[in-house]
Structure 1
Amino acid sequence: MKLTYIAFVVLGLIWGSNFTYMKWASELISPAQITLLRVFFGFLPLAFVAWRKGVIERSQLKHLPHFFVMAVVATAFYYFAIVKGTALLPSGIAGVLGGSIALFTAIASLLFLRTEKLNGLMAAGVVSGFAGIVLISRPWEGARNSIDLLGVFWMLGGAIILGLSYVYVRRFLSPANLPPLALSTWQIGLALPVLLLVTDLTGIGRILQDWHAAVGVAIGLGVLGTGTAFLIYYFLLQQLGAVAASGSTYITPVVALLIGWAAGEQVGPLEVVAVVLILASIAMLQVGRQRALRMTLQSQAS
């Protein structure tokens, strides 16, 4: 159990530090190039472990259209969107906004899955989450705003698309009971040729001018932040269950904000309150969904 909790904290630290690596690399190469390198280096450990465990089977080819949708939407576009947003924002702010994924996943589930029902706690979570987003974005400052609203929109666009992708998986892939490792390997693997086709590679070698940025993208963002993070998450799913494993998302915004603060980014009371609101939103949505599920099961049993 001790190893489980260590893995839980490590996952939060890995995800929280991703925004710093993206920020470093964005000063040298384009967001599309960063996304391509992340997917390439993230695919390596996933493919190796999937091969060793023998989870990739020929019978899974019948799901190829769904794998392709997930590769394009939940991998290529999502990773590009958060890199684009992080390039325009302080890394800590980007990390906090990245924590809104749970909010948009809950909203997408309520809108498109008949099994999800809204209750008071979930409604409060939605309100809290949006309040946190508005606070950290500060749209009332207008032209004087130090927060680039285009960067905010890119981050939220990525969060929305990832939230919708979870609904897609529930509708079209969950009934197939595929091993999560197999689904992720297909998803990341198919995203790689897609990104190779659409990415202009001109100047990608500039990443080697700064070894911090190069190691950050290859090891921090790719091997650790993508491949290893997936593997740790699936280990936690097996040990703790989905709700407890997703609790690592509580750590991610805090880690990102602390790293940004240590790097000299401005972190004031407004940012702290925004983090608290977004974390409270995640908690209320998770607890609210569990209550709704218990009530549904009880009504079915009676």
Structure 2
Amino acid sequence: MNALLYGLVVLIWGTTWIALKWQLGEVPIALSIAYRFGLAAAVLFAWLLWRRQLVLPRGRARLWVLAQGLCLFCLNFVCFLNASRHIASGLVAVVFSSAALWNALLARVVHGRVVAPQVLGGGTLGLAGLLLLFWPEITAHQAGAATLAGLAWALGGTLCFSTGNLLSAALQGQGLKPVQTNAWGMAVGTVLLVGYAAVAGVPWAFDTSPRYVGALLYLAIPGSVIGFTAYLTLVGRLGPERAAYSTVVFPVVALNVSAWAEGYRWTAPALVGLVLVMAGNVLVFRRKPATPASAPAPAASPTAPSPRPPNRA
């Protein structure tokens, strides 16, 4: 089951990049994100009502759901879209792919969880592979104030994403399912984005073209309803650090989509990078060999007579 969820996350989120690009245009970014998560929240609420599983978070869980909505379904998308204004999209993807390491480090700081060496090693290999994949784009970008601003935005988005992962793990620890917390979290993100648009005077617009509507439906249903539910289920099952390794793998899928739709050309360094990413994936999921249990000492026979001390009389 974990392999199926992991494959869904990689394939779906690896193909959402082209849909995001198709949404850029006359509709303001904040509204496009609000349309996406508003529709996704409506679908999730309808599903929960039909299944009679709609639960209103209470107590501390309510605050955590609000924080998750702010981090996962609002701020991180604002950060990444702002980063894309300053630096190349490949560089943004490289920064975002560090989520596996940030998840492990935040889990260490917040929960005191020990970071497994294979997780750090696999994440490092994956990052090295992505650097090779995106090296031409990285080296072509001129360093400067805009680059530093873009890196700051991208790092902020990654930290928001990792914080949302830890919040989801905590909510699942309280017995709430990802599909339940996602519905409320996406609703929170939608309200925040619409409120920002109203206060900032963002002009209301909607694009009725087949490309925009198709991209919106794909981002809302597979990209959000299925993708986030599958991913956060992995967070609960595998832990935030292992689940987030999908963020290292799905840019490879995005590159293959780009090769088909945008003319991306594979190079020798890119192929080496792909091998490193896959090697890191294997390392992260490698299980430690089971330690054989020591054989128990044979029990004394109940019929054997107890030794008698010698007669010294």
Q: TM-score, normalised by structure 1?
A: 0.74
Matches of 1:182 and 1:148, distance apart in 2? 38
Alignment match, 2:212? 213
**Would the aligned equivalents of 2:104 and 2:115 in 1 still touch at CA under 8 Å?**
no
Question: CA 1:245/1:158 → structure 2, altered by over 3 Å: closer, same or farther?
Answer: closer
Shift, 1:280, TM fit: 3.9
Cα deviation 1:69-124 (Å, max 9, x = unaligned): 111112211222334445666666655654432232122223332132343x3342
> Identity of paired residues, percent?
18
Alignment match, 2:98? 100
Cα deviation 1:30-83 (Å, max 9, x = unaligned): 332222122112212211112222223346355221111111112211222334
Matches of 1:153 and 1:276, distance apart in 2? 29
Matches of 1:133 and 1:126, distance apart in 2? 11
Alignment match, 1:191? 189
Question: CA 1:164/1:252 → structure 2, altered by over 3 Å: closer, same or farther?
Answer: same
Question: CA 1:144/1:187 → structure 2, altered by over 3 Å: closer, same or farther?
Answer: closer
Matches of 1:270 and 1:181, distance apart in 2? 40
Which deviates further from its counterpart, 41-50 or 242-251?
242-251
**Would the aligned equivalents of 2:95 and 2:154 in 1 still touch at CA under 8 Å?**
yes
Matches of 2:203 and 2:264, distance apart in 1? 28
Matches of 1:236 and 1:125, distance apart in 2? 17
Matches of 2:176 and 2:51, distance apart in 1? 14
Alignment match, 1:158? 157
Alignment match, 2:128? 131
Residue of structure 1 aligned with 2:18, choices 20, 45, 69? 20
Shift, 1:220, TM fit: 1.1
Alignment match, 1:143? 142
Which amino acid letter does the alignment assign opposite residue 269 of structure 1? Answer: A
Question: CA 1:237/1:150 → structure 2, altered by over 3 Å: closer, same or farther?
Answer: closer
The structure, 1 or 2, with the larger RCO (C-alpha pairs under 8 Å, 6+ apart) is 1
Alignment match, 2:119? 122
Shift, 1:18, TM fit: 0.9
Number of equivalences? 284
Describe the SS at the equivalent of 2:256.
helix
Matches of 2:265 and 2:201, distance apart in 1? 34
Which amino acid letter does the alignment assign opposite residue 108 of structure 1? Answer: L
Describe the SS at the equivalent of 2:207.
helix
More helix by percentage = 1
Unaligned stretches of 5+ residues in structure 1: none
